[in-house]
Amino acid sequence: MKAFAINRYTEKGPLQATDIPEPVLQDKDVLVQVHAAGVNQLDSKIRDGEFKLLLPYRFPLILGNDVAGVITQIGVGVRKFKVGDEIYARPDKDRIGTFAEFIALSEDDTAMKPRNLTMEEAASIPLVGLTAWQALVEKADLKKGQNVFIQAGSGGVGTFAIQLAKHLGATVATTTSADNRELVKSLGADVVIDYRKENFETILHDYDVVLNSQDQKTLEKSLRILKPGGKLISISGPPDPAFASEIGLNWLLKTVLFFLSYSTRKKAKRYGVDYSFLFMKASGSQLTKITSLIESGIIRPVVDKLFPFKSTNDALAYVESGRAKGKVVVQVK
């Protein structure tokens, strides 16, 4: 099968078009013919080697963390799906590789594709949808009437998180450029801050939750807008000891992450707020709940641009440019 892979970590290096054997199924796996694959900043970070200590991948490594497609084969232990089912998924962190014609997925990481979405729209959802769900529902336990600050509202995670937060009954503030103001307002943002002209720290006060996706300076400013007892959940780091325990790192790496996040955790404690790092995990059951929200019209995908499979490198470069509104998707089939 055709795929886009890397043979070593190289910052800004191109993915290599290659021919490799189709995946071999485990008992609880489904083999999926990939119709479309979402493209994420995570793909470029993995290519650049940012997670090489935490996620020791083998080479050649096929990139890609979002998929929508059709099941062509099932393992002997599969009970939830059958051949011909249209599905979407975020593969487990150890089994990425959606920039390919086929991928093997655990049935537990897989969900039926929303009936009202195209394959391309469905492929835009899993990673950002699960990230928003695990941040706002699981970690933050966001409630009706609370205030939440979602950074970068016109990005992939932001466009989904705004809609989910509004569904949960929260008041939503976000940052974006003036060009994207109407987009984020149409998704449900109540307070829209032009990050080029305004400082959110002087506008927002006593917030319950922050979803941080930006740099360390923005994270530290975000800590100061929370009320005592508020929660900051970061998807851009620094990783904390709880994350190290969650993924089973050895004592040395646990120690490294302890010191890496020490300053941030100390500042959070000084302000009387909670800091946690989120590295989203695959979950077919959570995706099924997201499917219900999409099929009922509560959440809609925001897809900026489609690229043909042969232009996967161009798609990744476009995502890295930071210009995308919502998601970028590669059409594989």
pTM, to two decimals = 0.97
How many C-beta neighbours within 10 Å does residue 4 have? Answer: 26
Question: How many residues does this entry show for the chain?
Answer: 333
The reported pLDDT for the residue numbered 54 is 85
In this prediction, residue 104 has a pLDDT band, given cuts at 50, 70 and 90, of: very high
Mean pLDDT in the chain?
96
Cis peptide before 228 (omega within 30 of 0): no
Q: Which amino acid, residue 246?
A: E
Residue 14 has pLDDT above 90, yes or no: yes
pLDDT digit string, tens, across residues 44-83: 999 999 988 888 899 999 999 999 999 999 999 999 999 9
As a whole number, mean pLDDT of residues 288-302 equals 98
The reported pLDDT for the residue numbered 55 is 87
The reported pLDDT for the residue numbered 56 is 85
Which percentage of the chain shows pLDDT scores above 90?
Answer: 92
Rounded to whole angstroms, the Cα distance separating 103 from 162 reads: 31
The reported pLDDT for the residue numbered 84 is 98
pLDDT digit string, tens, across residues 221-269: 999 999 999 999 999 989 999 988 888 888 989 999 999 999 999 999 9
Cross-strand pairs, 34: 69
Task: Report the candidate in 127, 123, 3 with the shortest Cα–Cα distance to residue 63.
Answer: 3
Burial of 269 from C-beta contacts in 10 A (0-12 / 13-18 / 19+): exposed
The reported pLDDT for the residue numbered 270 is 97
Residue ranges and CATH numbers for the domains of the chain are 2-125+301-331 (3.90.180.10), 128-277 (3.40.50.720)
Burial of 299 from C-beta contacts in 10 A (0-12 / 13-18 / 19+): buried
Task: Report the candidate in 174, 217, 214 with the shortest Cα–Cα distance to residue 198.
Answer: 174
Rounded to whole angstroms, the Cα distance separating 118 from 113 reads: 9
